[in-house]
């Protein structure tokens, strides 16, 4: 997630490489980052000499490490923090700082890797408009950004955060279904992956609702209708309702 953001910021000319620094404790990973992002400083840890109160930090570590890393950033004196950490509230991150540092919580998703992500951001207690604009400009370099009240963040994580995994599972299942009907795996993969990408583009650019697009390919009593009847019998919609509810509950648990 962190390197996707650096790549997006550089591609968007958000700043010059020398304005950025990446903190990465592992030495082989530091070398790979230096090679990938020439001109960007790559540090093993952050210290007071590297930052001032104008410095913004983006927290992109696993939830288990997040508060310890935020405490280091606080000791070094960073001026604001954007977190992409799932489940971790702005309140808990604010508590790792000695002073009233603005904290923005966000939930991006993996299409940020190709600049096509969608991220939701929420400002903590000390945020003003300029802090949200700063966060939006960073995540906007790798996709679209929406602002939501923080109480929605667990649901956003369970929906758009996790959704690439749900959709890949649908794709895998459909490839398997093609193979079971006698197509080669390569042919089934090509048909399903290209249809997935094309259907997504059609949904995004046609201006039609998903229901209308589905109606458009469902002739009365036809082939698609027979397939959809089986999905309804197997309660596909209920499975998604329960999947998102379960993922949101897990996000709430992680944040406790
Ligand atoms: N992946 C997603 O779809 C997604 C979506 C939304 C939000 N998120 C959130 O994004 C965060 C990062 O996820 P990820 O998938 O990018 O994880 P990741 O690939 O494991 O990246 C985390 C990076 O943090 C480094 N790190 C560990 N300790 C550190 C420290 N003390 N200081 C600086 N860097 C340190 C890790 O290095 P080592 O490997 O050497 O430990 C690793 O390079 C998570 O909190 C997750 O909840 C992820």
Q: What is the DSSP string of 63-124?
A: HHHHHHHHHHHHHHT-SEEEE--TT--HHHHHTTSSS---EEEEE--GGGGGT-EEEEEEE-
Task: Report whether residue 108 contacts ligand 1, using a CB cutoff of 6 Å.
Answer: yes
User: How many A from CA of 88 to the centre of ligand 1?
Assistant: 13
What domains can be seen in the chain, in order of their start residue? 2-149 (3.40.50.720), 163-255 (1.10.3730.10)
* Model confidence pLDDT, tens digit, residues 59-109: 999 999 999 999 999 999 999 999 999 999 999 999 999 899 999 999 999
Q: Is the pLDDT assigned to residue 53 strictly greater than 90?
A: no
For the CA of 87, the closest atom of ligand 1 is 47
pTM of the complete model: 0.92
Nearest partner of 77 among 53, 42, 108, judged by Cα: 53
């Amino acid at each position: 997630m962190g390197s996707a953001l650096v790549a997006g910021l550089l591609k968007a000319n958000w700043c010059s490489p020398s304005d950025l620094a990446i903190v990465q404790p592992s030495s082989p990973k530091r070398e790979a980052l230096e090679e990938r992002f020439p001109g960007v400083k790559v540090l093993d840890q952050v210290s007071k000499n590297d930052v001032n109160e104008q410095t913004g930090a983006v927290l992109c570590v696993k939830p288990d490490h997040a508060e310890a890393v935020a405490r280091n950033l606080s000791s070094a004196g960073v001026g604001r923090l954007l977190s992409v950490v799932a489940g971790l509230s702005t309140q808990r991150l604010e508590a790792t700082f000695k002073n009233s540092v603005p904290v923005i919580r966000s939930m991006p998703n993996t299409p940020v890797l190709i600049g096509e992500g969608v991220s939701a951001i929420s400002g903590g207690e000390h945020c003003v408009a300029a802090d949200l604009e700063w966060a939006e400009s960073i995540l906007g370099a790798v996709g679209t950004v929406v602002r939501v009240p923080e109480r929605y963040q667990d649901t956003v994580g369970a929906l758009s955060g996790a959704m690439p995994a749900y959709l890949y599972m649908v794709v895998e299942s459909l490839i398997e279904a093609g193979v079971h009907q006698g197509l080669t795996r390569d042919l089934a993969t090509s048909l399903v992956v290209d249809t997935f990408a094309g259907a997504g583009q059609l949904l995004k650019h046609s201006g039609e609702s998903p229901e209308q697009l589905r109606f458009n390919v469902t002739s009365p009593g036809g082939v698609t209708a027979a397939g959809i009847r089986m999905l309804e019998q197997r309660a596909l919609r209920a499975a998604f309702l329960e999947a998102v509810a379960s993922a949101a509950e897990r996000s709430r648990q992680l944040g406790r």
